[in-house]
Amino acid sequence: MPELRRDPIVGRWVIIATERARRPSDLARCPAPQQPAVCPFCAGQEAKTPPEVYVSGRPPSAPPNSPGWGVRVVPNRFPALKIEGDLDREADGIYDRMNGIGAHEVIVETPEHGRATKDLGDAELTDVLFAFKARVLDLRNDLRFRYILLFKNHGHLAGASLDHAHSQLIALPVVPGLVKEEIEGARRHHALKERCIFCDVVGQERRDRSRLVYENEEFLAFAPYAPRSPFETWIVPKRHESNYEAEPKERLGLCAQALGTTLRRLAAALGDPAYNFIVHSNPLRDPSSQSYHWHIEVMPALSQVAGFEWGSGFHINPVPPEEAAEFLRKVPG
């Protein structure tokens, strides 16, 4: 059973996922993970994954776990957290621990092995974003969960171990520290100004335009004012909405346009870099907030987290966001 442990000083939780453990000699980081001979995420290989929990595109008459799907969501075969059991929160001397209860799912974005997220058409990427929403709506019924993190690791340097296009979902029994910080920051701004800080940011970026990457009717893609890494890009709805899962499919379609365009431009600008994207949304038990505003943060994996970052939480970024955005406005995508 994986375990959640809390650092007694800063309150940071870590997941001790022993079932993913390797021997010390296997911990060396550099080599890219070997791809399996037969990819478990390809159409026709459905038996190689745990049974699906969501699927799109396959006719209802077809049997489950058979080909014919467009997006397919399955439990992770090597989950960081386990779905069965009780939290059993307990003290361990002065420390705090609980069982590593949670859901860890994989969203297979396409049945075709050779296509990356950036290669998906708008309708296909919309189906992926809709699958995110559908899984959140299902999992939030489980009252043990406080937060669902939706994210993608693309490329070995960004932590992906399989090449086939997929994103991930982890449902957590606690609200993670970084999410709390964001929510608290937004709440402070709202208490002071009675405005949403993200709406203020959207306003300034639309007026200023120097950090703008892409804009459509409903979404803005821009380089944030204080990016942690070169070419970091945020995709933010222009209209205030705190919860990702509250978005109707039409608006997810416009989000897919903004996200797809951003990923294509990053690929063109940087030569298909490894990247992560993370959906930031309001916690599950809060269906709507005046101060928080959901968005997606895309982070190319270009800079190393080194001693300075580990020690300070500061990041050193050699590329001003205005330069990155100007570059991204000019490349095709």
> Interface residues for its own copies in 181-200 (CB under 8 A)?
181-182, 185-186, 189, 197-198, 200
Per CB under 8 A, the list member of 1, 16, 39, 116 interacting with its own copies is 16
Do 235 and 219 touch, CB atoms closer than 8 A?
yes
Angle value at C-alpha 242, between 241 and 246, nearest 5 degrees: 70
Whether residue 166 lies in the annotated active site: yes
What three-state secondary structure class fits 241?
A: coil
Per CB under 8 A, the list member of 40, 50, 75, 224 interacting with its own copies is 224
Residue 27 interacting with its own copies (CB under 8 A): yes
Give whole-number Cα distances, 321 to 204, 218, 300, in Å: 14, 22, 13
> Interface residues for its own copies in 274-333 (CB under 8 A)?
274, 276-280, 297, 299-308, 310-321, 323-324, 327
> Interface residues for its own copies in 204-223 (CB under 8 A)?
204, 208
Using CA of residue 238, residue 244, residue 246, residue 249, what is the dihedral sign?
positive
> Interface residues for its own copies in 83-102 (CB under 8 A)?
92-95
What three-state secondary structure class fits 219?
A: strand
Residue 1 interacting with its own copies (CB under 8 A): no
Nearer to its own copies, 69 or 235 (CB): 235
Q: What is the β-pairing status of strands 103-108 and 13-16?
A: unpaired
Residue 20 interacting with its own copies (CB under 8 A): yes
Nearer to its own copies, 12 or 239 (CB): 12
Give the span between the Cα atoms of 84 and 113, in whole angstroms. Answer: 31
Select from 128-136, 149-157, 244-252, 257-265 the region that touches its own copies (CB under 8 A). Answer: 149-157
Select from 10-18, 48-56, 67-75, 255-263 the region that touches its own copies (CB under 8 A). Answer: 10-18
Using CA of residue 179, residue 269, residue 110, residue 255, what is the dihedral sign?
positive
At 8, list the tokens: 């007694």
Helix H or strand E segment including 76: none
In our burial notation (b when 16+ CB lie closer than 10 A, e otherwise), range 187-202 reads: eebbeeeeebbbbebb
> Interface residues for its own copies in 231-260 (CB under 8 A)?
231
Nearer to its own copies, 52 or 297 (CB): 297
> Interface residues for its own copies in 107-136 (CB under 8 A)?
none
Q: Which residues are catalytic?
A: 166
